Amino acid sequence: MKDLIFTAETQGRREKTGKTNLKNNIMMRRSLSFFIRKYAWRLGVSAVFLLAAIAVNAQIAVKGETVWTMAGEPITNGVVLLNNGKIEAVGTADQVKIPANYKVLTAKVVTPGLIDAHSVIGLNGYMNQPHDQMALDGGGAIQPELRAIDSYNAEEKLIEWVRQFGVTTIHTGHQPSALVSGQTMIAKTVGKDVDEATLVPTAMIAVTLGSDALAGQGKSPGTRAKEAAMLRAELIKAQENVKKSDPPKDLRSQILMSVIKREIPLLITADKAQDIMTAIRIGKEFNLRVVLDSVSDAQLVLNEIKASGYPVIVHATMARAGGDTENLSMEDAAKIKAAGIPVALQSGYEGYVPKTRVVLFEAAMAAANGLSQRDALALITIDAAKIIGLDSRIGSIEKGKDADLAMYDGDPFEYTSHCIGTIINGTVVSDVVR
C-alpha cells in the first residue's frame, strides 16, 4: 500500500490507513463511551487517538485540479469542504477558503462518490460458493417478499473492492434469474453491518422477463407468455387487495400492494425487444413505477422506451453478449442517452468471473464508445442518483449533500489512472492506490 495524497498540512502528521479510517467512521456513529466499552479492544487503538481521529475526519478540505461536481461545469483548481459528514462548500480555490483546522487532501481529479445503479454484491460474495450466494432463492418463481437486507453482508470483500475504485453507493439485491426474485436495497459501501450501511431497505422489486426467468423442467413459467400471465395475475390480486378494508397481512400481499400504490418501483430486467415491450405493457396496464434494466435490444425499441417515460439502467458496457443479451452494444448507453431517456449504468449480475464488474471501468468503456466524459460520469453519479431516487442526497458535489467523494491521480477513466482515495460521509474509507 502506497501512501499518497495525505499531505495533512494542518495536522503535521500522516493519517493511518483507510482501514482504520473506515472503522473510525463506524465509531463516529456510536457514542464514544459505548464504543470504548465495547470495541476499543477489538480495534487495538487507544481512545486518545480515536478522539483525535474523529476531530480530523470531521473536517476535511479536498483540493482537486479538476473537480467534477456534476452540478454545472467541472471546476479547475477546486476545493470541497467536508464538515460533519456533509459537503459544506464547493468552489474554486479563490472562492472557498480552507479553515486552518481542516485536514487537506489533494488529488488531480475529484468526483462525487460513484454510484452503482444495479449490483448484487453483498448478497452475492466473491467466493462464489453456496454459502455466499444469496441473491437467488430457488424456491419459487415469484418471491417479492424476500428482503435484500436480510442477506446483505456489509463486510463482503467485493464491497471493499469497489469502494477502493471510488464506489460509495450501491443499489443491490436479488439477482435477475427468476420472474420475481426479491427486493433490492440501497447501501453505502461502508459499515460493519447492514444497519450501518443501509440507506433504503427496500428500494425496488427485481423482476426478470425473458429466457433467464424460465423455470425449466416442466415448471412455470415455461414460456414468455406464461411469465406475463403469472406477473399480471399477482398484480391483479394486489389491485383487489388495495381496495379491501382489511387487506391480507401476508408478506407477499403487503409488498405487492405497495407496488400497486406506486410506493415501490419494479426493476424489470428485459433484454430482448419483445421483453422490453412486455415490461412497458404491464407497467402501463397497472400504472406502476418501472425502471427498465439491462435492455440489450434498446436500439430496436428506443422510441417505445422513450414514450413510456421509464428510466433505464443499462447493461454493463463490457457485459458478455449471448442468449437474450446477444445484441448488446458498447454504444447502447450513448444511444439511449441521445434519445433523451434517463439512463444509468450497472455492474450487473455475474455468475462467474469477474464476480462483480466495476462501474468505473464500465463507464470508461462507455466514454470510449460514444459518450462524452461528462455524460459517462453522469451514468455512475448524478443520473444514477436520480434513477434510484436519492439525488437530493448523493450523486453530485453540492452544499448540503453527503460528503461522498472519489479521488484520482488522473482521468478516472484511463486504464493507467488510479483511485487514490474514497470518502464516505466525510470519512476517508480507502486510501489504497488502485
Partner 1 sequence: MIKSCLNILALFVFACPIYAQQKPTAFINAKIIPIVGQPIEQGVLLVQNGKITAVGDAKSVRLSSDVQLIDVAGKVIMPGLVDSHSHIGEGSGGDGSAPIQPDVRLLDGINARAASFQRAQAGGITTVNVMPGSGHLDSGQTLYLKNRDNATKIDDLLIYDKDGKYMGGIKFANGTNSIRPGGGNFPGTRAKSAALVRDQFIKAQEYREKVKKAAGDPTKMPPRDLGMEALVEVLDGKRVIHFHTHRHDDIMTVLRLQKEFGFRVVLHHVSEGWKVADEIAKAKVPASVILIDSPGGKLETLDIKFETPGILDKAGVLVGFHTDDNITDSRWFMRTAGLAVRAGMSREKALYALTMANAKILDLGDRVGSLEAGKDADFIILSGDPFSVYTHVLQTWVEGNKVFDRSDPKDHLIAVGGDGAGTDREMHLDGDEDDLGGGQ
Cβ burial, residue 402 (10 Å; 0-12/13-18/19+): buried
Minimum distance from CB of 351 to partner 1 (Å)?
9
Minimum distance from CB of 74 to partner 1 (Å)?
17
Cα–Cα distance measured from residue 389 to residue 89, given in angstroms and rounded to the nearest whole number: 23
Minimum distance from CB of 326 to partner 1 (Å)?
5
Q: Which of 336, 235, 244 is nearest to 286 (CA)?
A: 235
Query: CA–CA distance from 277 to each of 228, 300, 306 (Å)?
Result: 11, 11, 12
Relative to beta strand 290-294, strand 266-270 is: parallel
* CB nearer to partner 1: pick between 214 and 333: 333
- 394 C-beta neighbours (distance < 10 Å), count: 24
Question: Which DSSP category does 39 fall into?
Answer: T
CA 49 from centroid of its chain's CA atoms:
33
Minimum distance from CB of 311 to partner 1 (Å)?
22
* CB nearer to partner 1: pick between 2 and 13: 2
H or E element, residue 337: helix 332-338
Minimum distance from CB of 366 to partner 1 (Å)?
10
* CB nearer to partner 1: pick between 248 and 323: 323
Minimum distance from CB of 80 to partner 1 (Å)?
25
**Residue 255 amino acid letter:** I
Task: Count CA within 13 A, CB hemisphere, residue 267.
Answer: 33
* CB nearer to partner 1: pick between 286 and 361: 361
3-state secondary structure of 49: helix
* CB nearer to partner 1: pick between 161 and 310: 161
* CB nearer to partner 1: pick between 44 and 322: 322
Relative to beta strand 103-112, strand 405-408 is: antiparallel
What the block records as the C-alpha cell of 9 is 498540512
* CB nearer to partner 1: pick between 23 and 357: 357
Applying CB under 8 A, the residues found at the interface with partner 1 are 125-129, 157-158, 161-162, 297, 299-300, 318, 320-322, 326-331, 350, 352-358, 361, 364-365, 367-369, 413-418
- Residues forming a β-bridge with 33: none
